[in-house]
Amino acid sequence: MAATRFAPDRGLTVRMTVTMFLLGLVYVAFMAALVALGVRAIAVLVVAAGLLLVQFLLSDKIALFAMGGREVSPQEAPELHGIIDRLSAMAGMPKPRVAIADTDMPNAFATGRDQKNSVVCVTTGILRRLDARELEGVIAHEMSHVAHRDVAVMTIASFLGIVAGLMTRFALYTGLAGGRRSNNGPPIGAIIFLVSGLVYAVSFLLTRALSRYRELAADRAGALLTQRPSALASALTKISGEIARIPTRDLREAQPFNAFFFAPAVSGQSIASLLSTHPPLERRLEQLARISAALNR
């Protein structure tokens, strides 16, 4: 991965490494538990690995399809391409592909396995609501995710949580469980269900913790690249206020993509916001205010 001019973040690198290491340990233990219970897990693992490979290699196309986004040419969106051209030159990184999703929810996301296979997608809702400086701040934030490689890590980490459920379904519903409960034996189905639930819970908490930190790292790197933390703060405030007005049904449809959005598709103080993929708005604004004060000095 080529270096860029986005500010490096050692804390993010350490957290990504630790998260992937711990997730690896969890899933090795999960596989060992399944084998010990008599589940022929090799076939399940092969299927899961195949799905992960597809998810990793095609994550950009899958995300665009799911969000209804389409790539646009410089002739179709000259101002948007202009912003991304300028930021790519400033950051010293390849220009990502540019896409627009036709939805009123103001948001943006970046995805792709590396700098050469990445895409930045903005919604028509965000284009209508932000001025050029605010939009530049948001896009710099998204491009920093690609530069820091946390997009690829989150793609893998978020997918691993599905593997436990997939393995459990195969074991319980397709006859892969080789061992059966005898009259005096342990309830194998219940044990598999409990172990799978524990694995999913650990994965969920690890990925949420990493996701919240990576958003702070992207805010910091984007603000330092543009030297305009106030523009990013303005965009955050405006988008968060607008999302609160979006119908609940539309927010629910978008929530599976929260980990990749600029701002989470949630409103109000709920369990979803307490376990959010993003840090609280106040914390993000406080960090940007500190960066602004440091730059002014």
Angle between helices 42-57 and 59-67 (to 10 degrees): 70
Which candidate in 142, 242, 253, 286 is catalytic? 142
| Token couple for 251 | 């927010």
Q: Are 144 and 225 a contacting pair, CB within 8 Å?
A: yes
Runs of H (alpha helix) within the chain: 10-36, 42-57, 59-67, 78-91, 124-129, 132-148, 150-173, 188-226, 229-243, 248-254, 271-274, 281-296
Containing 99, the helix (H) or strand (E) segment is strand 97-101
Strand-pairing partners, residue 111, are 119
| Token couple for 176 | 């892969």
142 included as an active-site residue: yes
Give the span between the Cα atoms of 176 and 154, in whole angstroms.
30
| Token couple for 213 | 């930190």
Containing 123, the helix (H) or strand (E) segment is strand 118-123
Query: Which of the residues are catalytic?
Result: 142
